[in-house]
Amino acid sequence: MTAYQVLLVHSPGASPVTIQKLLEERQFLIHVSRTWEETERTYARIPKDQLKYIFLDLTLCNGSNWEQFMRQVHGGSGDTILVHFHPRFPHNLANLLNLQTAEEGEPAGSSDQQTPLIIGDSAKFREVIGLVHRYAPYDITVLITGETGTGKEVMARYIHEHSARRDGPLVACNMTAIPETLVESELFGYVKGAFTGAERNKKGLIETAEGGSLFLDEIGDLPLAIQLKLLRFLESREFYRVGESTPKTANVRIIAATNKQMERAIQEQRFREDLYYRLNSARVILPSLRERREDIISLVEHFTLQCCQRMQKPPKKVSQSAQTLLADYSWPGNVRELRNVVESAVLVSDNEHITIGDLPMHLQQYATGNREELSAKVVGRIDEAERDVIRAALREANGDKASAAKRLGISVRTLYRKLEKFAEFKDLKDESPSSVS
């Protein structure tokens, strides 16, 4: 079988190694280009019946050159598929390729069994992920705690997909969504005639999750009477359907979560101490978003890309001023609130950039009340971004200033001025005009 050819358009300020490796694993012949002029020349010489995909770096998808290339592609023949990706989130591209493979009839996991994308590089979040990877492979009960909106269900799915039970079902249930009178029958099931309306036998959540994992969200709201029955199941793996006298067994891993202060609930006799200690044998504490501020912009970029794809909108970027505001806000609703804000902004924005004016009113008011402090942070963020791009270009050019300036689209003299400007940064001193040849 002839290998498909693909065109990879990648920004000069980032390394394409991860993306290239991802494509090579799928046996693609890869053509890499870093400018739109180079892209047009490469595209013209590839036979269109062999060109399977064009992978486009979202950070480059703007301006007249990009628009001209899009007209060239849309005016051509063939069935080439355009795939946008963000260089900071290669896993998104991996998921897209897996879905495409499944459509072509090759084996792939079902969409509801794919490992959730976990985004975060802050020290506190890396510590959590390290702990999760130690717990996940072993068949132990895990308790996930954290404020509302920190992503407890996403983490539960991540644990399940990294366990030996990944091929089994993951059944999720929010305890607050079930009326107290129905919790027992929903959890353990019932037999025909057990109560009025029980016209047939019905499996509970535990039986439904056989061979897999059962995620019990808001476990702190479980009625006391059911807490004892859950404890017995955790100790013996036996349970009784409502209306049945013969015990059943189930091979199920329990993952529980709560945003409650469990120690206080125990003191107030709203939660059994013995059940808490049984659940708490392996505990994962998710940090709030304000404790991992370094991850906010990565999350914003991910949610923006995700929303644009879902809403079938052109790719959007977030302005520096909006980024600074989002990174500075306290986020009482954590990741869930951030995602909702980004979705709202993508929906109302009519331009290629999301600005403060596209954000909800309470954030605009926050920006007004903290204008001077935010303005100073915007300047710092712009300088930091410019410094990072220059450093990347110098490294790509192996220290050659003329080549780096060409990659950046500026003159060598301008590059010298910028290096002098950033001489105060310790990590750029080795790349100053006096030391870079």
Residue 232 contacts residue 239 (beta carbons within 8 Å):
yes
Rounded to whole angstroms, the Cα distance separating 245 from 241 reads: 8
Does the predicted TM-score (pTM) go above 0.85? Answer: no
Which architecture, in CATH terms, is 5-108? 3-Layer(aba) Sandwich (3.40)
The CATH number of domain 290-369 is 3.40.640.10? no
Rounded to whole angstroms, the Cα distance separating 185 from 177 reads: 14
Rounded to whole angstroms, the Cα distance separating 61 from 84 reads: 9
**C-alpha distance across the termini of the chain, in Å:** 48
Q: Which amino acid is at 127?
A: E
Rounded to whole angstroms, the Cα distance separating 233 from 248 reads: 10
> Where does CATH 1.10.10 sit in the chain?
373-431
Distance (Å) of CA 160 to CA 66, 166, 252, 328, 404:
42, 6, 11, 33, 46
Rounded to whole angstroms, the Cα distance separating 273 from 271 reads: 6
Dmax (CA) for the chain in angstroms is 88
Rounded to whole angstroms, the Cα distance separating 352 from 354 reads: 7
- Helix (H/G/I), strand (E/B), else coil: 48: coil
Rounded to whole angstroms, the Cα distance separating 296 from 341 reads: 12
Class of CATH domain 123-287:
alpha beta
> Where does CATH 1.10.8.60 sit in the chain?
290-369
CA angle 27, 33, 38 (to 5 degrees): 135
> Does the CA dihedral 38-39-44-47 come out positive or negative?
positive
Q: What is the pLDDT along the chain (437 residues), one digit of tens a residue?
A: 456 788 888 877 666 666 777 777 677 788 888 888 888 888 888 887 778 788 888 777 777 787 788 777 776 655 677 777 767 666 556 655 654 433 333 333 333 445 567 888 888 999 999 999 999 999 999 999 999 999 999 999 999 999 999 999 999 988 888 888 889 999 999 999 988 888 889 899 999 999 999 999 999 999 999 999 999 999 999 999 999 999 999 999 999 999 999 999 999 999 999 999 999 989 999 999 999 999 999 899 889 988 888 888 888 888 888 888 898 889 999 999 999 999 999 988 888 889 888 988 888 888 887 666 756 655 555 656 667 677 777 887 888 888 888 877 788 888 887 777 666 444 444 444 444 43
The CATH number of domain 373-431 is 1.10.10? yes
Say which DSSP state 282 is in: S
> Where does CATH 3.40.50.2300 sit in the chain?
5-108
